Amino acid sequence: MSRLIDVTPDGYQPHALHRDDRVWAQTNCYMDLWIEVLHSLDLDPVPGLVCAFASRFDGKQWTFLKYKAEDIFALYGIDVAEMNVWRAPLVHVEDNLEVGMLSTVEVDGFWLPDTLGAGYHETRSKTTIVPNRVDRGARELEYFHNSGYHLLRGDDFAGVFDLDRASLPQFVPYVEQIRLAPTPAINVGNVAEVARRNIAVRAPGNPVRDLGHRVIEDLEWVRSAGMGAFHLWSFGLLRQCGATAELAADASEYLDTAGFPGTAGAAAGFRAVAAGAKSVQFQMARAARGRSVNPREQLDEMARSWEESMDVVSEIIGIESQRHLRLV
C-alpha cells in the first residue's frame, strides 16, 4: 500500500518545534506526532498550539496536552473522530488508508524501534502512532511517532498489531480516523476564534503554583521511591508543564503576527517556566538518588512567570475580542 503522505523514513526532517536546542524537544506522543503530521502535510502546526493556554493542573498531574479536535478542524479542515473498533486494528488501519484517511492507534511501545534505549524490547508502555504505509507481505510499517517518521518490520510488525491473536484483545486500542481536507490549508480567519476559545477555558488561579505545592509535598516520596518511579512522576508533572509552557511561548509569538499585537511579550515568561521546570526536574532527580534539594525558590519563580505571561495573553486576546464584537 502506497504512502498517504509523501514522506520517507530516510532523511526525514522534523519540524523546528522538535529541534535539539529546545528546552523540551518532545512533549508527549500525541502532541508530537500531530506536530509532525501537520508538518508533513505542509501545514504550520504552531497556530494549534494555543491549546496550551487551556492547560491546567488537576492536583496530581499536569494536563496531557493535545491538539483539540475542534481546533484541528477549525484551523486545518481536518476531521478527527474516534473510530468503532470491531475488527483487528490492522484491518481498520488498512481500510482507512485505502479510502484516504489516516488513523491514530494506541500501541505497545515495546515494538517501536524508534524507542531504542528508552524501552524498545525492554518495557511495556502505551503510546500512540499514526501509520502512513502498511505492507503486509513485507511485514513493514511506516509510522509517525513522537518527533519523527519511522519504519518497523518483521516481528515488530506482528507484535505491534498483535497478529498472533485470533480475535480482538479483551481491551481494544483507542483508534481515531483522520479525515484529511481535500486541499489542506490553514484557515487564518479562524485563528482568533480558536485563541479566544482556549483562553476562555484557561485554568482558574495559577496552575503552576498548584503544581509547585504538589512537588514540595511529593519530595519525601520521590526520595524514597527511587529513579524508576521518579521518571513516571516527573513525566506527568514537570515535563508536561515545561513542554506546555514552551509551546505557549511559540503560540504567543505567532498570535502577535496574527491579529493580537503584543502577545509576543508573554513568550519570555513562558520560556522561563519551561527552563525552570527542567531545572526542577534535575533537582528532583537528585532527590530520587537520596540527595537533599530545595526547589521552592525555582517553583515560585515559575509560578510568577506563568501568571504574568497568562495575564498578558488573556488581556490582549480579551481586548481584541471586545473590539471585534463592537465592530460586528
Q: What is the DSSP string of 102-144?
A: EEEEEEEGGG-GGGTTTTTTT---EEEEEEEEEETTTTEEEEE
User: Is the confidence at residue 324, as pLDDT, over 90?
Assistant: no
pLDDT at residue 327 in the model: 40
User: Is the confidence at residue 18, as pLDDT, over 70?
Assistant: yes
pLDDT at residue 266 in the model: 98
CA separation for the pair 128, 105 (Å, rounded):
5
pLDDT at residue 166 in the model: 58
User: Is the confidence at residue 322, as pLDDT, over 90?
Assistant: no
Q: Tell me which amino acid residue 262 is.
A: G
Question: What average pLDDT does the segment 42-46 reach?
Answer: 96
- When the pLDDT of each residue in the chain is averaged and rounded to a whole number, the result is 93
Strands (E), the chain: 79-82, 101-108, 126-135, 140-145, 148-153, 175-179
Q: How many residues can be counted in the chain?
A: 328
Question: What average pLDDT does the segment 221-250 reach?
Answer: 96
Decide: pTM greater than 0.85: yes
User: Is the confidence at residue 155, as pLDDT, over 70?
Assistant: yes
Share of the chain above pLDDT 70, in %: 95
**pLDDT tier, 326 (very low <50, low <70, confident <90, very high otherwise):** very low
Over residues 170-192, the pLDDT tens digits come to 678 999 999 998 878 889 889 99
Share of the chain above pLDDT 90, in %: 86
User: Is the confidence at residue 325, as pLDDT, over 60?
Assistant: no
SS3 category, 10: coil
Question: What average pLDDT does the segment 98-118 reach?
Answer: 94
User: Is the confidence at residue 269, as pLDDT, over 90?
Assistant: yes
pLDDT at residue 172 in the model: 86
Over residues 48-105, the pLDDT tens digits come to 999 999 999 999 999 999 999 999 999 999 999 999 999 999 999 999 999 999 999 9
Helix axes 267-288, 207-217, angle to 10 degrees: 10
User: Is the confidence at residue 323, as pLDDT, over 80?
Assistant: no
pLDDT at residue 181 in the model: 86
**pLDDT tier, 6 (very low <50, low <70, confident <90, very high otherwise):** very high
pLDDT at residue 118 in the model: 84
pLDDT at residue 29 in the model: 94
pLDDT at residue 119 in the model: 85
